[in-house]
């Protein structure tokens, strides 16, 4: 493999998990004396790929078989048909996929990428690994044995230099960044600090499109509960003011929200870690191959870091325990932390963390680890950044000009732990008091659903619960132009408890611009779901699909609903189209190919 023993690790990550795995592989590679670079796929100059010797790809699959946002440019390039078949003839590669088998296109990106790299002449060093979030032990059940095999194979291809040894896992790696506190020696002058893009955008200084690095700070107009006061679930219709921004969107698009940790959690963290929230610091690179975070303002206070950047409310990944073990002084605690990192103890780790959804803050409290033992600079290695949350936009540019609406369930549930579990983003948003001074960092991206532009096209929409959000956007858009042909199947528990937007739908029905079919699962002894209503209205659905070229959309929880709806439509096609089961499947597949059948689902 050459004298330099280079290893490139490229990742496509939507929620940070694939990045975490890629960085973990990078740390292991450095212990094996590889010259390593770990970088997001779209941050890597793809034309340089032909010069690489050894590349590991770590790729998540999002939505319905879509690549993550930070590998979309790479994806478009690598799939170009005009690339020569021997483009990557000198490249050895391995692909690790992160997926969720509750989605129909399980690990689609990893599978397709592996096949495409082979088509371009790349030489696989291993079969692709397809990890599954639904496995009882999570992603690591597949990742661990695959990574072990990877090192066996790579050390065969590129042995250690003569006399060299693998660096012991007991040796603590260097911190990712250098930290300098203002007012202390070696502090750089103010002019070295990067511009706080977020503040600049808020003041209207820059005209660049809002993004994660430069979000628009949207005033919160209202946050109204749309479920009954005695209903177990608090669902909000949140209205944001984007009238003074360059934000634009179409029905089907998604708004990204950058949440913050709740003040009481921030205070608990600062107190437990013994940190002074008023101290100001800035970061410097310790490794030229590790860029500074673009979403962290420079300079930054410790309190702002904990409030806006560190994901102290997330369930820790295994890499957290690997790093934490370096700072435990109590031998029993150190052994326990190290034990959590072994393949034999994955069930124990899963029970301790994932099953009860224990947070990073709670683990630090359990193990009594504070800043006296954990140096401040290692917080960036221990704790991942808070990830933005995606919401289907529930408003219409025509019906709600200058606004973006979010239909959001406030996540709160109980486990065996004393404190109820709370969703970071939904709880934070719900805690805000509307007012012009209350700002929510947002930006917009294209969604997976693409609605038809032809106003004469009938549209069938199946959106139980908050899955109705993108359909509210599209229906309002069409109704604003007086366009009908809208057929909505909505499901919830009860008509009096969680029938979202009931009055809106009624007004549209009165104008004969909407046909609404409701399934209230708990209002009678026998449970009724949206798929049951589809079967009841089989002749109508068949006529719309077969004679009027209707489009069919599904949005909502990925667990069972999309498959159940598809099965009901297939049964209806068989019955009213007089087809065999195979012919009905072929019919639905043709709808998918022509984008007349689209699904937006989440777990």
What token pair was written down for 247? 């934000």
- 599: helix, strand or coil: strand
Q: Does 14 show up as a binding residue in the annotation? A: yes
Q: Does 246 show up as a binding residue in the annotation? A: no
Q: Does 527 show up as a binding residue in the annotation? A: yes
Q: CA torsion 561→564→566→572, rounded to 10°?
A: -140
Q: Does 486 show up as a binding residue in the annotation? A: no
CA 473, 474, 479, 481 torsion: positive or negative? positive
Q: Does 492 show up as a binding residue in the annotation? A: no
Q: Does 496 show up as a binding residue in the annotation? A: no
Q: Does 77 show up as a binding residue in the annotation? A: no
Q: Does 15 show up as a binding residue in the annotation? A: yes
Q: Does 75 show up as a binding residue in the annotation? A: no
State the greatest distance between any 2 C-alpha atoms of the chain, in Å, as a whole number.
83
Q: Does 191 show up as a binding residue in the annotation? A: no
- 103: helix, strand or coil: coil
103 near 61, Cβ under 8 Å?
Answer: yes
CA-to-CA dists, residue 550 to 455, 529, 531, angstroms: 11, 22, 18
Q: Does 564 show up as a binding residue in the annotation? A: yes
3-state helix, strand, coil in the chain (%, to 5): 35, 20, 45
246 near 209, Cβ under 8 Å?
Answer: yes
Q: Does 378 show up as a binding residue in the annotation? A: no
Q: Does 61 show up as a binding residue in the annotation? A: yes
Q: CA torsion 522→524→527→531, rounded to 10°?
A: -100
Number of neighbouring beta carbons within 10 Å of residue 87? 16
Check residue 330 and give left, alpha or beta (phi > 0: left; psi -120 to 50: alpha): beta
Q: Does 213 show up as a binding residue in the annotation? A: no
296 near 305, Cβ under 8 Å?
Answer: yes
Q: Does 522 show up as a binding residue in the annotation? A: yes
Q: CA torsion 519→410→66→359, rounded to 10°?
A: -140
Q: Does 100 show up as a binding residue in the annotation? A: yes
CA-closest candidate to residue 473, choices 417, 398, 523, 527: 398
Which residues contact residue 132 at a Cβ distance below 8 angstroms, ignoring those fewer than 6 apart?
99, 100, 101, 106, 107, 139, 141, 142
Q: Does 101 show up as a binding residue in the annotation? A: yes
- How far apart, in whole angstroms, are the C-alpha atoms of residue 52 and residue 37? 11
- How far apart, in whole angstroms, are the C-alpha atoms of residue 275 and residue 381? 17
Q: Does 427 show up as a binding residue in the annotation? A: no
Q: What is the DSSP string of 253-312?
A: -EEEE-----HHHHHHHHHHHT--TT-EEEEEESSTTSPPPTTS-SSEEHHHHHHHTB-T
Q: Does 106 show up as a binding residue in the annotation? A: yes
CA-closest candidate to residue 379, choices 295, 275, 524: 275
Q: Does 13 show up as a binding residue in the annotation? A: yes
Q: Does 413 show up as a binding residue in the annotation? A: no
Q: Does 396 show up as a binding residue in the annotation? A: no
Q: Does 105 show up as a binding residue in the annotation? A: yes
Q: Does 424 show up as a binding residue in the annotation? A: yes
Q: Does 299 sit behind a cis peptide bond, omega within 30 degrees of 0 on the bond before it?
A: yes
Q: Does 425 show up as a binding residue in the annotation? A: yes
Q: Does 51 show up as a binding residue in the annotation? A: no
Q: Does 570 show up as a binding residue in the annotation? A: no
What are the binding residues for NADP(+)?
A: 466, 521-522, 527-531, 564
What are the binding residues for FAD?
A: 357, 389-392, 423-426, 602
What are the binding residues?
A: 13-18, 60-63, 98-107, 133, 357, 389-392, 423-426, 466, 521-522, 527-531, 564, 602
What are the binding residues for FMN?
A: 13-18, 60-63, 98-107, 133
């Amino acid at each position: 493999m050459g004298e330099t023993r280079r290893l490139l690790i490229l990742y496509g990550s939507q929620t940070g998990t694939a990045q975490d795995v890629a960085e973990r592989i990078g740390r292991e590679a450095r212990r094996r004396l590889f010259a390593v670079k770990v970088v997001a796929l779209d941050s890597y100059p793809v034309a340089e790929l032909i010069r690489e010797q050894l590349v590991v790809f770590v790729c998540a699959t999002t939505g319905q078989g879509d690549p993550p946002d930070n590998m979309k440019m790479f994806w478009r390039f690598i799939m170009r048909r005009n690339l020569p078949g021997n483009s990557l003839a000198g490249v050895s590669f391995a692909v690790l996929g992160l997926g969720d088998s509750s989605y129909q296109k399980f690990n689609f990106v990893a599978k397709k990428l592996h096949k495409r790299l082979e088509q371009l002449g790349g030489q696989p060093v291993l079969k692709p690994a397809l990890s599954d979030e639904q496995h009882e032990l999570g992603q690591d059940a597949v990742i661990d044995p695959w990574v072990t095999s990877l090192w066996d194979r790579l050390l065969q291809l590129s042995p250690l230099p003569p006399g060299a040894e693998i660096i012991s896992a007991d040796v603590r790696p260097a911190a990712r960044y250098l930290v300098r506190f203002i007012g202390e020696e070696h502090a750089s002058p103010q002019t070295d600090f990067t511009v706080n893009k977020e503040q600049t955008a808020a003041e209207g200084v820059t005209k660049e499109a809002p993004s994660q690095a430069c979000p628009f700070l949207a005033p919160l107009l209202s946050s109204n509960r749309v479920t009954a006061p005695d209903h177990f679930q608090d669902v909000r219709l949140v209205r944001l003011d984007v009238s003074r921004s360059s934000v634009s969107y179409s029905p089907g698009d998604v708004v990204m929200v950058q949440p913050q940790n709740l003040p009481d959690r921030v205070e608990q963290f600062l107190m437990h870690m013994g940190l002074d929230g008023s101290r100001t610091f800035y970061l410097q690179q310790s490794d030229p191959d590790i860029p500074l975070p673009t979403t962290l303002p420079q300079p930054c206070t410790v309190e702002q870091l904990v409030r806006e950047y560190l994901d102290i409310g997330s369930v820790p990944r295994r890499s957290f325990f690997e790093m934490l073990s370096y700072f435990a002084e109590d031998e029993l605690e150190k052994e326990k932390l190290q034990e959590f990192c072994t393949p034999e103890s994955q069930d124990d780790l899963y029970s301790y963390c994932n099953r009860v959804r224990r947070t990073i803050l709670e683990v630090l409290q359990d193990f009594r680890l504070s800043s006296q033992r954990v140096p401040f600079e290692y917080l960036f290695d221990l704790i991942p950044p808070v990830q933005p949350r995606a919401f289907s936009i529930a408003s219409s540019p025509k019906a709600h000009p200058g606004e973006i609406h979010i239909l959001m369930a406030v996540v709160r549930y109980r486990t065996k732990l004393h404190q109820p579990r709370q969703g970071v983003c939904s709880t934070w948003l719900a805690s805000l008091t509307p007012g012009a001074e209350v700002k929510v960092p947002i930006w917009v991206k294209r969604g997976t659903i693409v609605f038809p532009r032809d106003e004469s096209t009938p549209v069938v929409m199946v959106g139980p619960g908050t899955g109705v959000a993108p359909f509210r956007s599209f229906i309002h858009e069409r109704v604003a132009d007086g366009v009908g042909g809208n057929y909505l199947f909505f499901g919830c528990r009860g008509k009096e408890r969680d029938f979202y937007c009931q009055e809106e739908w009624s007004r549209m029905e009165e104008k004969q611009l909407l046909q609404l079919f409701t399934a209230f699962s708990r209002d009678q002894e026998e449970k009724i779901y949206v798929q049951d209503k589809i079967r009841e209205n089989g002749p109508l659905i068949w006529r719309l699909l077969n004679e009027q070229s209707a489009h069919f959309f599904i949005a909502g929880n990925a667990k069972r609903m999309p498959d159940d709806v598809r099965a009901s439509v297939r049964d209806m096609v068989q019955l009213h189209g007089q087809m065999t089961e195979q012919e009905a499947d072929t019919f639905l597949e043709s709808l998918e190919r022509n984008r007349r059948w689209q699904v937006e689902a989440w777990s």
